[in-house]
Amino acid sequence: MSASSLLRTVRRALLPALSGLLAGAAGLSVAQLIAQFIEPNSSPVIAVGGAAIDATPTPLKEYAIRNFGTNDKHVLLTGILAVLAVLTMAIGIAAARRFIAGVVLVVALGVVAVTAELRRPNATAAYPLPTSIGLACALGLLYLLIRFRPHSMQTAGHNLTDDAAATNGVPDGPSGITVGSRRQFLITGAGVGAAAAVALAVSNVVTSSKSTAAARSKIKLPKATDPAKPLPEGVDLKVPGLSSFVTPNAKFYRVDTALSTPQVNPVTWKLKINGMVDKPFTLSYDDILSMPLVERDITMTCVSNEVGGPYVGTARWLGIPLKTLMNRAGMNPEADQLFATSADGFTTSTPTRIALDGRDAMVVVGMNGEPLPIAHGFPARMIVPGLYGYVSGCKWLTSITAATYAGKKAYWTQRKWDIDGPIYTESRIDVPASFAQVKAGIVPIAGVAWAQHRGVDKVEISIDGGGWQSTTLAATPGIDTWRQWWFKWEAKPGSHQIRVRATDSSGEPQTDRRQGTFPRGATGIQEALVTVS
Ligand SMILES: Nc1nc2c(c(=O)[nH]1)N[C@H]1C(S)=C(S)[C@@H](COP(=O)(O)O)O[C@H]1N2
Ligand SMILES: [Mo]
């Protein structure tokens, strides 16, 4: 193919591709808008993205969490939109040659999306509606755009050719580009673009996240009947750069599979306690607020946290002990797991022998004096000190079912992660940051260490491979939280390596054996490299 004919082909493909893109954007916006009225998760992007997340092999998911962190969902959404952009352009080009080809491709796309939608947990018969209407709109708009495309840009010899231009009733201009048809194309295109923008804007206004946020902001939490003790003096060493003892809600790490944050209405929400129990029961949000509530400081950790990683945080939680709930239901002692279900279909399973052993395992409604933030599970979630979040921290909680491991498998267990998730003893250097450059002299080395429900008794550091030296530990309210530590370092010029290890109350120091996050959490010793000048 010569350069000039290649150029001609590209020019011919340009407007059809643009038409496909515009029609696709408009159709997607319409679908997005309709989804807000049905259920946000019925949006084609969210449903297909959710299906992609659930189907992603564990190692790839690990990779995504490691490399994109909490941004992993933006990366996925961007990827889906990029794929859609390419597909709609291809459909535009196909439709310009033979419109029926475009129709076939659009229907195929619809079948894929609708299949994914119907297979979402909690899917209803209405789930395919946004996609179907959106695709119908897109197809109609594509037809108009292709039809009103300037004459010279049409592909000779195919269906919408001279006839189409003729029916438009516009004479050919000198260059073969008819002024009228170009204007018609531009007007149609601009109209479609504007319609897409309006549909998106309206869908943003009606989106239920606003009403959930409004409902949440009206809630006034009661005081705990069993409040947390005031934090002891000196839990915060106040070294600049060191994580604060209490992690502010806005800074608390977030890890979940939810592509769009579940919006749960606290007025209609119910928590079911059922399964292997004598007296199943249901609680409303107000029922929970009127029960005796306990308040505790607990550190949460994610199993996907790398050595030295950020997925750990401490908050003051307000809730009802799981024991109170399961005793009231009369749990059958044969039940070996509490199987919790989220509003978005995600599930966790927690061993009953741990959840009900007397530790402060709870259904929580409050976090640091506020109703649970929406991203952290509003209106209610579970928390169990000592277990990683994936086996204990079900957010947007809707039911707790007493069950057996033999009978039911939770989300991550189905994906081969360990059934039990006890948190390893871990420590992290916050300052100096790795690869930091500091001035010679006295430099504080400081960080946090955690061994939930065993407690941190000692933190040591080793500089440049030397012997382990004790650090100074901050005060702690108990064994279920992390603990700050610091060391007064006389830093000499040069490049230095700092390592840290914690020892829990059993006397067992943190292992130096390197292990990745899958399938039961990472182990090893963090090494920070610092340049002193
Ligand atoms: N519904 C739901 N709950 C969930 C998850 C999830 O994906 N969906 N992830 C769990 C995991 S792996 C962790 S570590 C914690 C994280 O809680 P956070 O986001 O409030 O920090 O939530 C747990 N609860
Ligand atoms: Mo996690």
**CA atoms within 13 Å, Cβ hemisphere of 65:** 24
Q: For residue 482, give every residue at least 6 positions away whose Cβ sits within 8 Å of its Cβ, in sequence order, or none.
A: 245, 299, 312, 314, 448, 449, 450, 456
Q: Which atom of ligand 1 is nearest to the CA of 256?
A: 7
Domain shared by 41 and 187, yes or no? yes
Residue having the nearest C-alpha atom to atom 10 of ligand 1: 390
Give 250-285 pLDDT, tens digit per residue.
999 999 988 888 999 999 999 999 999 999 999 999
| Residue 417 included in any domain | no
Answer whether residue 232 is part of any domain: no
> Quick one: which of 499, 503, 525, 498 has its CA closest to 514?
525
238 in a structural domain:
no
How far away, in angstroms, is 257 Cα from ligand 2 center? 10
Q: Given the DSSP bridges, would you call strands 270-275 and 397-403 parallel, antiparallel or unpaired?
A: parallel
Where among 210, 232, 265 does a domain terminate?
A: 210
The reply to whether 254 and 206 lie within a common domain is no
Cα-Cα end-to-end distance for the chain: 62
Residue-number span of the structural domain to which 279 is assigned? 249-403
Q: From the centroid of its chain, how far is CA 344? A: 12
Residue 230 lies in a domain: no
**Structural domain includes residue 233:** no
Is there a single domain that holds both residue 200 and residue 145?
Answer: yes
This prediction has a pTM of: 0.83
On whether both 92 and 173 belong to a single domain, the answer is yes
297: in domain: yes
Q: Mean pLDDT in each 10-residue stretch from start to end of the chain (533 residues)?
A: 79 88 90 85 86 83 73 81 92 94 94 90 88 93 85 45 39 40 77 79 68 93 97 97 98 91 93 98 98 98 95 98 98 98 95 97 98 98 98 98 96 91 96 94 98 98 98 98 98 97 97 95 96 96
Q: How many whole angstroms separate alpha carbon 72 and alpha carbon 403? A: 33
Among residues 210, 234, 262, the one where a domain terminates is 210
Give me the pLDDT at residue 462, please: 98
The rounded distance, in Å, linking the Cα atoms of 246 and 235 is 9
Beta bridge partners of 426: 450
Whether residue 33 is found in the same domain as residue 167:
yes
- Rounded distance between C-alpha atoms, residue 342 and residue 352, angstroms: 19
Judgement on whether residues 81 and 187 belong to the same structural domain of the protein = yes
Q: How far apart are CA 329 and CA 324, in angstroms?
A: 9
Which candidate, 133, 138, 140, 124, places its Cα nearest to that of 34? 133
Q: Is the dihedral of CA 82, 87, 92, 96 positive or negative?
A: positive
Flag whether 226 is in a domain: no
What is the C-alpha separation between 251 and 405, in angstroms, rounded?
A: 35
Do 183 and 264 lie in one domain? The reply is: no
Give the domain CATH number at 439: 2.60.40.650
CA 416 from centre of chain: 20
pLDDT value of position 207: 66
395 lines ligand 1 (CB under 6 A): yes
CB 96 within 8 A of CB 154: yes
Establish whether residue 376 lines the binding site of ligand 1, counting it when its CB lies within 6 angstroms of any ligand atom: yes
Q: Domain end: 210, 234, 269, which one?
A: 210
312-321 and 362-367 strand pairing: antiparallel
Residues 175 and 305 in one domain: no
Same domain, 60 and 170: yes
Q: Which residues contact 233 (CB under 8 A, 6 or more apart)?
A: 475
Strands 362-367 and 370-371, sheet pairing: antiparallel
Quick check: CB of 302 below 6 Å from ligand 1? yes
Whether 53 and 164 have beta carbons less than 8 Å apart is answered as no
pLDDT, residue 197, reads 81
To which residue do tokens 């030397």 refer? 466
Residues 74, 182: one domain? yes
Ligand 1 pocket mutation, candidates 395, 399, 414, 417, criterion most atoms within 8 A of CB: 395
In this structure, which long-range contacts are made by residues 157-161, counting pairs with CB atoms below 8 Å and at least 24 apart in sequence? 158/96, 158/97, 158/98, 159/97, 159/98, 159/99, 160/96, 160/99
What are the angstrom distances between the C-alpha of 415 and each of 59, 118, 175, 342? 10, 21, 62, 17
Structure tokens at 78: 């961007």
* Atom in ligand 1 nearest the alpha carbon of residue 397: 1
How far does the centroid of ligand 2 lie from the alpha carbon of residue 360, in Å?
19
Check if the beta carbon of residue 429 is closer than 8 Å to that of residue 498. yes
424 pocket-lining for ligand 1 (C-beta < 6 Å): no
Same domain, 34 and 165: yes
**Is 242 a domain residue?**
no
Count of alpha carbons within 13 Å of 172, Cβ hemisphere only? 13
Do 365 and 446 sit in the same domain of this protein? no
For 85, 96, 105, 193, 271, the CA distances from 21, given in Å and listed in that order, are: 6, 13, 14, 10, 44
Domain count, the chain: 3
CA of 395 to the centre of ligand 1 (A): 6
